[in-house]
């Protein structure tokens, strides 16, 4: 049986599938040729990440497709309900990349409160001539310890972020449309784990009380932003924002207005409305820390994702590796 891993798969995942008798093809097929390739090559399934979409038109053209696997958390690029209606097994790997995204969030928080994103831009060109001035400019950093982190969306990734933040001595509050009061596990190397109850609050209370806010929500109906001008106006002056969830979760025009007015101290963006062509005024803004949608892109996460995909497929077909 042949599988098309159109956006790639880790070596460990590929090896596990091949050991179970599958043939795994990793050469990327252009989007407009995807359905033809699936039919012509007789692929039983297709694996994607964020680059490839599998919409209704592809599903309709591929009556022999058995499964669609998404390496990662969100499945915005797949018509999930429609595929399942057609009898296709549609699945993702929700737990494999949570820790990697959480670590990026923490990296961005440390980055912003010490202005590393701007310092790293300025030092190569101005560090020699303006060392004293830059030392003064960046010598007013803050600490994360004791600050309040507001987490919007308290699923797997949000809870991982909470664990890291608690370990750094931060106060953590969270909001989710469906509150879960299961304690967060804080793992301490050499000690074990302890359970910590995170306070879950109303949305407007989180906005009003958080020093830093990070979003971990799926794409909203109609692409509506979670943080628009109205919501950003409710936040503390000097708030820090992180978006590693979905492009458009923060209204980009409102974000720029808040940064330019000084109400928002800084923002960190891993996702953008117009990927892969984000707007230039975001990319060049002096108080935005930028990464190109790499939240889950660690070697460890990709390895876990590949193995989880393989395990799902092997179990689906009842074969043994």
Cα–Cα distances (Å) from 19 to 24, 26, 144, 304, 320, in that order, read 11, 16, 47, 17, 8
What dihedral do alpha carbons 188, 215, 98, 197 form, nearest 10°?
Answer: 40
Burial of 283 (0-12, 13-18, 19+ CB in 10 A): exposed
For residue 44, count other CB atoms closer than 10 A to its CB: 18
Q: The dihedral of CA 188, 93, 320, 15: what is its sign? A: negative
Mention every residue, 6+ apart, whose C-beta is less than 8 A from residue 167: 186, 188
Of residues 314, 301, 243, 248, the one with CA closest to residue 279: 248
Name the region of 62 (left: φ>0; alpha: ψ -120 to 50; beta: rest).
beta
For residue 37, count other CB atoms closer than 10 A to its CB: 17
Record the tokens describing residue 81, joined without a space: 């309900």
The label of the residue with tokens 């949305």 reads 203
Beta bridge partners of 174: 151, 200
What is the Cα–Cα distance from 233 to 150, expressed in whole angstroms?
16
Instruction: Supply the residues annotated as catalytic.
Output: 246, 275, 293
Q: State how beta strands 184-188 and 67-70 pair.
A: unpaired
């Amino acid at each position: 049986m042949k599988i098309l891993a159109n956006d790639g798969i880790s070596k460990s995942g590929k090896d596990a599938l091949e050991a179970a008798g599958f043939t795994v093809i990793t050469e990327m097929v252009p989007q407009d040729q995807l359905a033809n390739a699936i039919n012509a090559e007789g692929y039983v399934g297709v694996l994607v990440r964020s680059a490839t979409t599998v919409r209704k038109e592809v599903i309709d053209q591929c009556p022999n497709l058995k499964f669609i696997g998404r390496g990662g958390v969100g499945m915005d690029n797949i018509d999930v309900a429609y595929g399942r209606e057609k009898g296709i097994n549609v699945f993702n790997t929700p737990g494999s990349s949570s820790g990697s995204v959480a670590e990026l969030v923490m990296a961005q928080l440390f980055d912003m409160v010490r202005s590393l994103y701007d310092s790293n831009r300025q030092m190569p060109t101005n560090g020699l001539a303006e060392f004293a001035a830059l030392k003064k400019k960046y010598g007013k950093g803050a600490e994360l310890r004791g600050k309040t982190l507001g987490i919007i969306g308290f699923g797997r990734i949000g809870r991982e972020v909470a664990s890291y933040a608690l370990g750094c001595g931060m106060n953590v509050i969270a909001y989710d449309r469906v509150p879960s009061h299961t304690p967060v596990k804080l793992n301490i190397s050499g000690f074990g784990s302890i359970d910590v109850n995170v306070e879950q609050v109303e949305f407007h209370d989180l906005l009003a009380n958080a020093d830093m806010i990070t979003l971990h929500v799926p794409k909203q109906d109609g692409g509506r932003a979670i943080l628009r001008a109205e919501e950003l106006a409710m936040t503390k002056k000097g708030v820090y924002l992180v978006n590693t969830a979905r492009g458009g979760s923060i209204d980009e025009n409102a974000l720029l207005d808040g940064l330019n007015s000084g109400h928002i101290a800084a923002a960190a963006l891993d996702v953008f409305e117009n990927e892969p062509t984000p707007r230039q005024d975001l990319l060049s803004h002096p108080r935005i820390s930028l990464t190109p949608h790499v939240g889950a892109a660690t070697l460890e996460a990709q390895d876990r994702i590949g193995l989880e995909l393989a395990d799902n497929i092997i179990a689906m077909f009842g074969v043994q590796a």
